[in-house]
A = this chain, B = another copy of it.
Amino acid sequence: MAGVGLQEIVTALGGELTGEASAANAVRIDRIGPLEGATPSTITFLSSPRLRPLLGASQAGCVIVAPDLRDVAAARGAAIVTPDPYLYFARLTQWWVARAREPVAAGVHASAIVEGSARLGAGVSIGALVVIEAGVTVGDGAVIGAHGYVGRDARIGAGTRLAARVTLGERCVIGARGVVHSGVVIGADGFGFAPAEGRWEKIEQLGAVRIGDDVEIGANTCIDRGALGDTVIEDGVKLDNLIQIGHNVRIGAHSALAGCVGVAGSAIIGKHCTVGGAGMVLGHLELADHVHISAGSLVTRSIRKPGQYTGVFPIDDNAAWEKNAATLRQLHALRDRLRTLEKASPDKNATGTA
C-alpha cells in the first residue's frame, strides 16, 4: 500500500496521535501540504489562529495541532498533538526528504578536477566538472555539486552540502552541516581602496572568510574576505538570497537575514538578530544581540538595545505621496513656523515646549 502511516511518523518524530483509532490507522500519507486544499492523503499543520475556522471542514488525512486544539481536531479525524506544530512540521519535512530523496552517490565524478593534495573525507560526493585546488580539505559526507569551485587551502566541514555552481575562495572555511545554494560567492575581495589623487589604490584583501556550523546561505549571496583579519559568520546563521556581506563583518550565532540585505564592511551584528528584506546595515556599526531590523530599513547608527527598529517611507497612492514628499522637504521650516505660532499664541499655557 502506498504512502506513509501516521504511526510511522509519530514513532520517528514524537507527538501524540489522536482521533478514532481505526480511522487513524487507515490513513496513508503521500504529501505534506497546506490546510487549504488538503486531501485525505495529505498531512498538514495548524499554527496560525487565523486558519482555525478552516479546521473543521478540512479533508486532510491528518492535522498537526497544539494541545489546546486536541478536542476540536480529534472530532474531525486523525491528528498529531504536539507543543509546537510549526516546529513539528519543519522536522516532518526533514524526515520526509531524508526518506524519499535518492541519496547522493559518494565518489568523485570522472569529469571533476581535483588536485592531488586535496584531502577528501569518507563518503564525500564531488559532482561533475567540479574544480578543487591544492590543499583543500573536504569533511566526511560533504557534497559538492556540479560546477563547484573550491580554492586553494579551503576547508569544508562534514556533511556540508554545496549546491551546483558554488564558489568557495582560497583559504575560506565553512563548518559542518552547512547548506550553500547555487551562485554563492564566498571569499571575493572586500571593497577596499585608498584614495590617491582622484584615483583609487587597491588594498589587497589578505584575510579570508570563516563560517561556522549549521549555516545556510542562499543563492547568489556574496560574503567577502576580510582585509586584514577574517569575515566571520557564526554557527546557525541563515542567509537568504542575493545578500551582500562586506569584508570584516561578523554575524552572531543564529541570526537570520532576509533576501537582498546588505551589511557593509566591519559591521558587527549580534546573536539572534534578524534583518528584513532589503534592510541595510552601514559599515563599522554594531548591533546588540536580539536586534530586529524591519524590511527596507537603513541602519545608520549602532543599536545597543534589543528591539524592533524601522525606517521606511510609508507607501501611498502616488498623488498623495507626491504632496507629502514635497511638504517633507520643507518640514524643518514648518517646525519653525509652528514655533513662531506657539510663541504668539494667546494661550501660552496650552502650547508645548519648543
List residues of A whose CB falls within 8 A of some B CB. 32-34, 84, 86-87, 89-91, 93-94, 96-97, 111, 113, 127-129, 131, 146-147, 149, 151, 163-165, 167, 169, 179, 181-183, 185, 188-189, 191-196, 198-204, 206, 214, 216, 218-220, 222, 224, 228-229, 236, 238, 240-242, 244, 246, 254, 256, 258-260, 262, 264, 272, 276-278, 280, 282, 293-301, 307-318, 320-338, 340-347, 350-352
Contact = CB atoms under 8 A, between A and B. Distances in A.
A332 B96 CA distance: 51
Given A87-B201, A204-B96, A262-B259, A352 B340 contact: yes
Given A33-B228, A129-B113, A258-B191, A89 B316 contact: no
Contact of A310 (B179, B316, B327): B316
Copy number in this complex? Answer: 3
Given A188-B182, A352-B336, A131 B146 contact: yes
A350 B343 contact: yes
Nearest to A346: B346
A318 B128 CA distance: 49
B149 A164 contact: yes
Contact of A259 (B181, B246, B311): B246
A146 to B, nearest CB: 5
Contacts of A350: 340-341, 343-344
Contacts of A338: 334, 337-338, 341
A91 B199 CA distance: 13
Contacts of A131: 127-129, 146-147, 164
